[in-house]
Chain A
Amino acid sequence: MIHLLIPYAVAALLVGLGLFGVVSRRNTVLVLIGIELILSGGLVLLVTSGLASGVGGDGHGRWAAASVVPLFIITIAAAEVVLALAIILALFRTRGSIDMDARLDAVSDSPPPPSQPGEAATEGAKAGGER
């Protein structure tokens, strides 16, 4: 026997923390970490709801949905992360920065990224060019 309140509270806190991360981070990769936390909060909520509803009589939920839908969400999240990281790397290569606060049109008035591989990187995340 468990108290339902505990997993519900964990889910709510994880979603809140993830949203804090999404709003407060300027590094694009760290925004993704906030998104992962939000999704994991959703997973906890789904599994708990399936347990609490008890549709189907045996607590599994109908069609084992309380296990299958979280599996689908994990898969979709993996695809999303792959695409997001590809976009981040393309952004870093073309604009030399992954700052969420950078201007969208900064690519036109900033110097083009160095084209030779192995060119010296400047300080911090300001360097563009080949990885």
Chain B
Amino acid sequence: MTGLDLALSATGTLAVLGGLLAVTTRQVVHSALWLIVALLGVAGTLLVLGAELVSLVLVLVYVGAVVVLVLFALMLTRAPIGPDRAHAIGWVRQVGAAGVGAAVSVLLLVVLVPMAGGVPGRQIAVVVTDSTDVGRELFTTWVWPFEGLSVLLLVSLIAALAISRVGQGGRGSS
């Protein structure tokens, strides 16, 4: 175990524990708040893996924007403060869902563990990705996908506006 291994284990544990609490808690607002913990854990994992830019963008976009959007949606759909009893599910479905999740995890591990070279695992050196390189590649090799993404964002913005007018009846726009 090197120091980087320890850091990776700590951030990975944070991500998995935050994710576990985010999907199991009965309080809907706590679920969104645990998602922040899980995403910060993922961002730490990416930072240890050397992808600085991706890690920082993850914090900016996911923790900064997406979680705030989710919290807004919870408020606008009148989520209850406290345990959400209106949307409780039976234990059969809970066990079934846990089975599906565990099966997918095991399936992925069966594929990924041999790729990592067995259980002790193969060791690789961490190379910190230079943000200058990423920027140069983004605006040379990847420039057309990048422009396509900006069009996608514009289209989704307009589509969200159009969708949110559905069901407002004759009352006009808000």
Contact = CB atoms under 8 A, between A and B. Distances in A.
Contact of B138 (A13, A14, A71): A71
Contacts of A43: 42, 46, 54, 58
Nearest to A39: B62
Contacts of A85: 69-70, 72-73, 160
B149 A75 contact: yes
A33 B35 contact: yes
A88 B46 contact: no
Contacts, number: 298
B-side interface mostly: helix
Nearest to A98: B77
A71 B169 CA distance: 39
B86 A3 contact: no
B36 to A, nearest CB: 11
A90 B167 contact: yes
Given A36-B39, A124-B80, A30 B31 contact: yes
A44 B45 CA distance: 8
A10 B16 contact: yes
Contacts of B129: 60, 64, 66-67
A88 B36 CA distance: 21
A45 B94 CA distance: 27
B156 A83 contact: yes
Interface in A40-72: 40, 43-45, 47-48, 50-52, 54, 58-60, 63-64, 66-68, 70-72
Interface string A11-28: 111111111110111110
Interface in B117-174: 117, 119-127, 129-130, 133-134, 136-138, 141-142, 145-146, 149, 152-153, 156-157, 159-161, 163-164, 166-169, 171
Interface of A: 1-21, 23-27, 29-30, 32-34, 36-37, 40, 43-45, 47-48, 50-52, 54, 58-60, 63-64, 66-68, 70-72, 74-83, 85-90, 92-94, 98-99, 115, 121, 124-127, 131
14 contacts: A8-B109, A19-B100, A24-B89, A29-B70, A51-B49, A51-B50, A52-B115, A58-B127, A64-B134, A64-B136, A74-B61, A89-B76, A90-B166, A115-B169
The 9 closest A-B pairs by CB, nearest first: A16-B105, A20-B101, A59-B127, A21-B23, A24-B97, A94-B167, A12-B108, A5-B121, A10-B12
